[in-house]
């Protein structure tokens, strides 16, 4: 089942929309145990205050917990490490206050090992019959390994290697299509099938992985931006915040506090 299909089950439609978030949860109760057996996706429902009302077993484990109960009534900012939690809650506010949909957002998350990893996150507002926002639901799907059985894998593996070697400068899509020997439309389509990311997301991922490493050193943030392929420091800060919820400076400060 795709994230969008799962969202439709949660959201209801027209006269089937709930009056309250509690009514929604009651109606979903028979389905929730099914979500606990999904190992590669963190699934959750929050109220209008961005507080957890439900989380599947995968998310509970990734919070370092054994049971759901300690999560209930808390925001992500209260649960996750300072490098991540406030950013997730800021996202929630955009969904809850403005009805903004978040789809296929490439993000750094923490896995069970407490090591950072990559997810594609989706968040949707939940509405009552009158259209008022009563909460949100979200799914963060682990970024899958490359599909090396795809016929175009060898070509795209060369593209991936090229990105990982040259991410510290601007990369034009034309460079990548030349390496793969396919059109821009084919490159986009095949990258999604093989790497589950667009070419632009692959470049962002390579840059932000390197930034994550460098921000754990004492390198100047302007130099980190240059090392990661950004000549514009503000562009680096905007993209870094979009993927982590923090500016590079805030992320470094949060990391330093977590090591104290």
Q: Would you call 246 exposed, middle or buried from its count of C-beta atoms within 10 A (0-12, 13-18, 19+)?
A: buried
* Angstrom distance (rounded) from CA 42 to CA 137: 11
Q: What is the pLDDT of residues 48-99, one digit of tens each?
A: 999 999 999 999 988 888 999 999 999 999 988 777 788 889 889 999 999 9
Q: Would you state the pLDDT for residue 8?
A: 58
pLDDT values of the chain reduced to their tens digit, one per residue, 260 residues? 556 655 555 555 555 677 889 998 998 889 899 999 988 899 999 999 999 999 999 999 888 889 999 999 999 999 887 777 888 898 899 999 999 898 888 887 766 555 667 889 999 999 998 889 999 999 999 888 888 888 888 889 999 999 999 999 999 999 999 999 999 999 999 999 999 999 999 999 999 889 988 998 999 999 999 999 998 889 999 888 887 777 898 888 776 655 44
- The highest-level CATH class for domain 153-255 is mainly alpha
Angle at the Cα of 117 from the Cα atoms of 32 and 56, rounded to 5 degrees? 10
CA neighbor of 97 nearest in space, from 89, 105, 108, 85: 89
Q: Would you state the pLDDT for residue 110?
A: 61
* Residue carrying the six token digits 């590079």: 248
pTM: 0.75
Domain 3-142: assigned CATH number: 3.30.450.20
Instruction: Pinpoint the residues of the chain covered by CATH 1.10.10.60.
Output: 153-255
Here the tokens at position 61 are 């484990």
* Residue carrying the six token digits 């970024």: 143
Count of positions (residues) in the chain? 260
Is residue 132 classed as helix, strand or coil in its secondary structure?
A: coil
The 8-class DSSP code of residue 105 comes to E
Residue 212 and residue 177 in contact, taking contact as beta carbons nearer than 8 Å: no
Instruction: Pinpoint the residues of the chain covered by CATH 3.30.450.20.
Output: 3-142
Burial 105-140 (b: 16+ CB within 10 A, else e): ebbbbbeeeeebebbbbbbbbbbbeeeebbbbbbbb
Here the tokens at position 133 are 């926002």
């Amino acid at each position: 089942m795709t994230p969008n299909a799962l969202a439709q089950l949660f959201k209801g439609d027209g006269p089937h929309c709930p009056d309250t978030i509690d009514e929604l949860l009651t109606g979903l109760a028979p389905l929730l145990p099914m979500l606990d057996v999904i190992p590669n996706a963190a699934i959750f429902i929050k109220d209008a205050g961005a507080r957890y009302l439900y989380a599947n077993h995968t998310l509970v484990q990734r919070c370092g917990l054994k049971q759901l109960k300690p999560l209930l009534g808390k925001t992500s900012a209260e649960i996750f490490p300072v490098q991540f939690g406030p950013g997730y809650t800021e996202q929630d506010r955009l969904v809850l206050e403005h009805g903004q949909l978040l789809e296929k957002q490439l993000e750094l998350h923490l896995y069970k090992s407490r090591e950072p990893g990559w997810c594609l996150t989706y968040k949707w507002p939940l509405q009552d019959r009158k259209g008022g926002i009563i909460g949100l639901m979200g799914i963060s799907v682990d970024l899958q390994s490359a599909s090396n059985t795809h016929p175009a894998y060898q070509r795209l593996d060369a593209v991936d290697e090229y990105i990982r070697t040259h991410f510290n400068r601007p990369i034009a899509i034309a460079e990548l299509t030349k390496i793969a020997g396919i059109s821009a439309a084919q490159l986009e389509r095949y990258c999604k099938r093989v790497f589950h990311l667009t070419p632009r997301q692959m470049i962002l991922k390579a840059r932000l992985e390197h930034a994550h490493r460098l921000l754990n050193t004492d390198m100047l943030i302007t130099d980190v931006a240059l090392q990661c392929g950004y000549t514009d420091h503000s562009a680096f800060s905007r993209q870094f915040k979009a993927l982590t919820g923090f500016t590079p400076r805030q992320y470094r400060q949060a990391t330093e506090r977590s090591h104290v």
